[in-house]
Amino acid sequence: MNLKTNTKTALIDLELISYSHAAKAESTGTGLKSLVEMVEFTIQSVVSACRAQKHYLVVSGRNNFRKVLYPDYKAGRREKPPLYAPLMDKLKELNASRWCKHDQLEADDLLGIMLTNGRVENPILCSIDKDLLGVPGWHYNWNKDDWPREVTKGEADHHWLVQLLMGDSTDNIEGMKGIGIAKAEKLVAAYYEKTGVMDAPVASAKEIYESEGFSLDAYTKCLMLASIWRSPMPPELLENELISEVVKTIPSL
């Protein structure tokens, strides 16, 4: 994609923008009308920074498949700010044609699908969530990027593999207990050197779990919870009956 000449589509992780603004509004006493205006301004700033001609606002559905599989997923998260729900309702009303949601998916998964399924014209995934770097394609982090950058499949696969080893404590995903990013990177580097395999994150994670003496139940749980969906879906995820049924509702996968 030529960032200067091609028509581009910004895929915006709206929940992160809305949560941040709603949290500030709670501490400053900002009202809903002003809050909506601030979020709309931020959205337009992201679109302008990407020089995108089109954009979509991507949000999570209510019936998260991960919570069905593992009810302890994201347990202990604090409640959203009081103005968050009315803010999202108003944004949906103002942006109905750009609103993207699947009832059983999180925004992360929908962003990953839209970035990789070939149905969106020159997509740029706009988010500050590092987990989404496990999806190949063009990315824009509004907190630190001056310009979108491309994450290659190799980079995305590496990020995904490291995540499968570490888990994510903020989402209550244990992974290989006691393994932080430095140790995970060492294990991955050693695996690459030993096997020469650098393009199979799911199978590689399973082998590393086994070689390090960790439970495959922990591996399976981390695979189901930490994997951001993308096209094509890995067969290992499709072996889960619930995931397979959800995928059937998404023709582009």
Q: Which residues of the chain fall below pLDDT 50?
A: none
4 part of a folded domain: no
163 and 145 housed in the same domain: no
pLDDT of residue 13: 98
In this structure, the answer to whether residues 44 and 146 fall within a common structural domain is: yes
Closest by alpha carbon to 244, among 215, 229, 222? 229
Query: What is the predicted pLDDT for the residue at 77?
Result: 84
Burial of 78 (0-12, 13-18, 19+ CB in 10 A): exposed
Q: Does 161 lie in the same domain as 137?
A: no
Our CA angle for 17, 23, 29, nearest 5°, is 125
Write out the two tokens for 204: 């590689």
36-50 pLDDT tens trace: 999 999 999 999 999
Q: Phi and psi at residue 220, in whole multiples of 5°? A: -60, -45
How high is the pLDDT of residue 6?
83
Q: Are strands 99-100 and 123-126 parallel, antiparallel or unpaired?
A: unpaired
Q: Are residues 96 and 109 located together in one domain of the fold?
A: yes
pLDDT by residue (tens digit) across 172-221? 999 999 999 999 999 999 999 999 999 999 999 999 999 999 999 999 99
Same domain, 93 and 158: no
Q: What is the pLDDT of residue 3?
A: 67
Between the alpha carbon of residue 180 and those of residues 167, 168, 183, 185, 186, the distances in Å are: 9, 10, 6, 9, 10
pLDDT at 150: 97
Phi and psi for 197 in degrees, rounded to 5?
-90, 120
Q: Which domain holds residue 203?
A: 153-247
Query: Would you state the pLDDT for residue 34?
Result: 97
Task: For residues 192 and 51, give the distance between their C-alpha atoms in angstroms, rounded to a whole number.
Answer: 38
Q: CA–CA separation, 25 vs 32, rounded Å?
A: 8
Residue 108 belongs to domain with CATH number: 3.40.50.1010
Distance of CA 91 to the CA centre of its chain: 21
| Total domains in the fold of the chain | 2
Q: What is the pLDDT at residue 145? A: 96
The pTM score is: 0.95
Of the candidates 113, 128, 151, which is a domain's last residue? Answer: 151
User: d(Cα 33, Cα 30) in Å, to the nearest integer?
Assistant: 8
